[in-house]
Each structure stands twice: as C-alpha cells, then as structure tokens.
Amino acid sequence: MTSVITRTSVVDPADWIESAACDQPDRSFIKTPAGRELTYAALLDHSARYAAALMRRGVVSGDRVAVQVDKSTEAVLLYIACLRLGAVFVPINVANTLNEVDFFLRDSAPRVAVIRPADCPVLEPSATRAGVAHVETLGENAEGSLIELVRRVDDSSLPARRVDPNAPAAIVYTSGTTGRSKGAVLSRANLASNAAALVEAWQFTADDVLLHTLPLFHIHGLFAAINTALAARSCVLLLAKFDAAAVLEHLPQATVYMGVPTHYTRLLHEPGLNREASACMRLFVSGSAPLLSETHREFLRRTGHAILERYGMTETLINTSNPYHGLRKPGSVGTRLPGIEIRVAHDSPAAGEQDDARGALEVKGPNVFAGYWQDAEKTQHEFTPDGWFKTGDLGRIDDDGYVHIVGRAKDLVISGGYNVYPKEVETELDALAGVSESAVFGIPHPDFGEGVTAVVVPEPAAELSEADLIHSIQSRLARYKIPKRILVVEELPRNAMGKVQKNVLRAAYASLYQQ
C-alpha cells in the first residue's frame, strides 16, 4: 500500500533518498527509453560514489559545485550527490554563453565545475582564470573525467551529515529576462518544504511514474519534478529533451506529466493525442509561463484531462496551484499551496488604478529563498519591510482565492499616464479568428511616453491585416489600451522554459515610433 507523505514528515532532502532506499530498495527511481533502470538502492550507492568523487576534489559541505552539462541520469546523480554531501548545487543553462558562464563561475566561486567534454577547450581556461580549482567533464552518454573519477572510488562512505535546514542547497541564477541574472540561494528547507507541499497538493505516491522532459538547470525540471518524485518515492521516466512524438509514445508508461505551455501546444499538433493515448495518465501539470485558456480547453476536449496550472519562480519555487480535486480554472494559477501566503499589494508604483483589484503579488512562507548570493542590498530591495518577497508579478486574487496573473510589473505599459496590463490586451487578441498567439509590450512613444504595441502570430494559412485586428478589438477595450501598432510575425521569441522574451521584443521594436 502506498500513502501520501505529509509535509511534516520531511526533515531534509537527503532523507528522501536514504529512507526510500532503506524501505523500498528495489523500487525504480529512474528509467530511460534506452532501457536503463536505477533502483532506489542503486541511487543510494551511485550517488554516494559521486559524492566521494567530489570529496576527492576537496568538496566539503557548503562548497559550490557548478554544473553545465546535458541532461542525463548521471547529471541527476551529481545533483543528488551534492544534496547528500551538503554541497551547493549551481546548475547552469546549457544555452548560456561563455561570457555568461564566466560571470556565474566568478560569482559563485565553485570548488568544482562540471562541464560538457566538448566545451572543455574553451571553458576550462576560462574556469581556471575565474579561480575554479577543478574542472571535470560529463557527457550525455556517461563519458568524461567525472565518470573516470567515480569509477576509481574505492570508499564511498560519506561523512556524518549535520542537518541544518537553513544551509544552502542550491544557487540558481534567475533567467535574467529583465536584467542581469542573480543567484537565488535556496536552502535545504526550501527544497524539502516545497516538495512535501507538492506531494500533498498533487497526490503523488510511490506508484507514480513522472514523464520528465524538462531541462535540469531550472527549478521546474529539477525541484518541482525530481524533488517531488523523490519525496514520494515515485519513478522518473527520464527523456533527454522534449519531443512531442516521444512524449506521446511514452504516455502509456507514465501517470504524471509536467510541462511548459509550449509543450502542450506542440502536443496538440500530434494527431495521436486523444483519450486512449492518455488513458493511464492521472495528471498533467503546466507552469513557468502562462497557459492560454484555449490550450486548456482544447487539451480537455482531446484527452479528457484538465491541465493543472501552477505558478512559481526561481526565488520561491512553487507558490500556487490549481486543485487536484475541484475546479481547475483556465487562466488562473490556482490557490496558495499549504503553508504559503500570497497577497496583492496596492501601494506599489507599478500597481493599477486605486480602485483596481490588481496589484503586485507578494509571497511569504517556507518556500521563499534566503536571498541573492552575496548581494544583501538586492535582497533587501526585493523584500518588504514586513518580510514578504516581491515577486515582480502583477495579479489579482478572486473571491474563491484563485490567483490570476496579469503580467510582470516590468512589462506593465504606461501609456499617456494610464496603466495597460499586457495580459488583458493579449487575451482579446488571442480570441480573434486567425490569431494563434500574441505578445503586448510598451516601447518609447513621443506622445504617450510608452506606446502599446502588439505582435501576433497567425494560425496556419490565416491572413491577418493590422487594420482589421485593430478594428476588431476597438469595441472590446478602452481606447488607451488599443495597440498603436499590431505587427504580424512568424513566431514569438521564447527562452528555454517557453517564456516570451518581452525584453527582446522591446529591443527589436525600440525605434518603431521614433520616425
């Protein structure tokens, strides 16, 4: 019999592995499409060997281990080794450039950097210049110097672990779409409490198989996915990357899927996506970017599953979720998770008009990070005097307690002195015939300060004209909210997590009104 683990039963992330290996050694933790399988007992043994390899390189509790590698079972083992050793895991997006990686290495000052073998000629000298003591390599097919080091381990006993819930477990650099990336320091208690809240909220059990296609350098794929599975002793079916056809092929072996909205729109393009293909699934979760209501409805129609949308961020992990039982409202990110508080502040300069229910979202709870790495000033700036974290998102909370996000505070457009919430305009544009999706943003305008501007992506074969689009929304929105220009584009610029990069759009169209 399996049972849902309650929040109070989790003390430290390393307990997940140790207790699961003790109670259920033969249960699978990881399976791969290539037929590889790792039980919880093997996880305990292998991760101890990785930890011992790191110790051979001088890593002790509190040392940073920076990791920029392709997704693999070994990458997961390296993360778990850090958890067990008390080392601070610093995941780096594989898309980051040399210049960015150089900054992360100088900033986090890791004892060891683990990189892809192919990046070694360029990155190793840079890491050495940044003062990193040891550079190891790890390839996607279990090759590289780290693996050699692990093979040579003859004693994999770990030092006695001192459990300090406030000790840092990871430094995750924010995606930096609104400025320079900052290193968010997440404690062991942050990880443990959030995983426990998600096990409870999403009813995870040891019988679950999580189909994993997300990257491991972001909180979604690493913490929301891997940690929740570990805390519930579930199995992870690890795919190297997202591929709609591969997801469809593996759905019958899985029970839960976690994805970003782009995954769901791509899955909807698969003719084979239907009730039969998803009959074994009990839950589809979406997050990291807004899920269109249209995608939610279409997915429900095709599969019978209402996608469960949740809301989180690097600094706080997951804050809110639509309910497992009960109404999953399309367009809402759900209610606060157990133990977490969320409020709307109306006194922020970015908040809406005085009588507007919308404002700046602020969060408090055991999920909220300790601060930015070695940046007390920035940390202080992002918290209110009474200790709430300023998420930088704008939203409202409806009468049922469901949170609705209306956009990033930095994306709010102030045109002619009026606040325009991009989401409101995007919702109207998205509802028009022939429009697949849209993005609304503000750029300098000689008359209005900022001009509301939109780009729209047409449905396949649809012909869209700017004049018709503007005409169609004129009866639906106040005049000051109507975009001054609506440009038809092939696609929206997105980052690896599917977030639309409005900074890229603002830069691309910066001089549109300057003639």
Q: Are strands 308-313 and 283-286 parallel, antiparallel or unpaired?
A: parallel
Does position 363 interact with ligand AMP (CB under 6 A)? The reply is no
DSSP class of residue 224 equals: I
Residue type, position 236, single letter? V
Phi, psi of 357 (to 5 degrees): -75, -10
Q: Which is nearer to ligand AMP, 21 or 258 (CB)?
A: 258
Buried-state track 252-262, b at ≥16 Cβ within 10 A, e below 16? eebbbbbbbbb
Binding mask 211-240 for ligand AMP (x = CB under 6 A): --------x---------------------
Question: Of these, 19, 128, 156, 175, which contacts ligand AMP (CB under 6 A)?
Answer: 175
Residue 176 contacts residue 191 (beta carbons within 8 Å): no
Helices (H), 26-92: 40-56, 73-85
Task: Give the CA angle between residues 208, 209, 210 to the nearest 5°.
Answer: 110
Of 42-50, 136-144, 285-293, 506-514, the window that binds ligand AMP (rule: CB under 6 A) is 285-293
Q: Which is nearer to ligand AMP, 13 or 498 (CB)?
A: 498
The pair of structure tokens assigned to 428 is 């109207």
For the chain, the distance separating the N- and C-terminal CA atoms, rounded to the nearest angstrom, is 70
For the bound state, the minimum distance from the C-beta of residue 147 to ligand AMP, rounded and expressed in Å, comes to 30
> CA distances (Å), 48 to each of 42, 85, 113, 239, in order?
10, 8, 19, 24
CA distance 89 to 59: 11
Of 69-77, 111-119, 192-200, 284-292, the window that binds ligand AMP (rule: CB under 6 A) is 284-292
Within 99-118, which residues bind ligand AMP (CB under 6 A)? Answer: none
Of 102-110, 268-276, 286-294, 339-347, the window that binds ligand AMP (rule: CB under 6 A) is 286-294
Question: Of these, 73, 194, 278, 391, which contacts ligand AMP (CB under 6 A)?
Answer: 391
CA distance 78 to 68: 11
For the bound state, the minimum distance from the C-beta of residue 505 to ligand AMP, rounded and expressed in Å, comes to 16
For 219: left if phi > 0, alpha if psi spans -120 to 50, otherwise beta; the answer is alpha
Question: Of these, 202, 311, 369, 421, which contacts ligand AMP (CB under 6 A)?
Answer: 311
Question: Of these, 408, 481, 484, 502, which contacts ligand AMP (CB under 6 A)?
Answer: 408
Does position 287 interact with ligand AMP (CB under 6 A)? The reply is yes
For the bound state, the minimum distance from the C-beta of residue 353 to ligand AMP, rounded and expressed in Å, comes to 21
CA distance 201 to 210: 15
For the bound state, the minimum distance from the C-beta of residue 391 to ligand AMP, rounded and expressed in Å, comes to 5
Using CB atoms within 10 A of its CB, is residue 418 exposed (0-12), middle (13-18) or buried (19+)?
middle
Does position 335 interact with ligand AMP (CB under 6 A)? The reply is no
For the bound state, the minimum distance from the C-beta of residue 323 to ligand AMP, rounded and expressed in Å, comes to 15
Binding mask 478-497 for ligand AMP (x = CB under 6 A): -------------------x
Residue 202 contacts residue 228 (beta carbons within 8 Å): yes
Q: Please give the size of the binding site for ligand AMP, defined by CB under 6 A.
A: 19
Does position 295 interact with ligand AMP (CB under 6 A)? The reply is no
Does position 333 interact with ligand AMP (CB under 6 A)? The reply is yes
Does position 405 interact with ligand AMP (CB under 6 A)? The reply is yes
Residues that bind ligand AMP (CB under 6 A): 174-175, 219, 287-290, 309, 311-314, 333, 391-393, 405, 408, 497
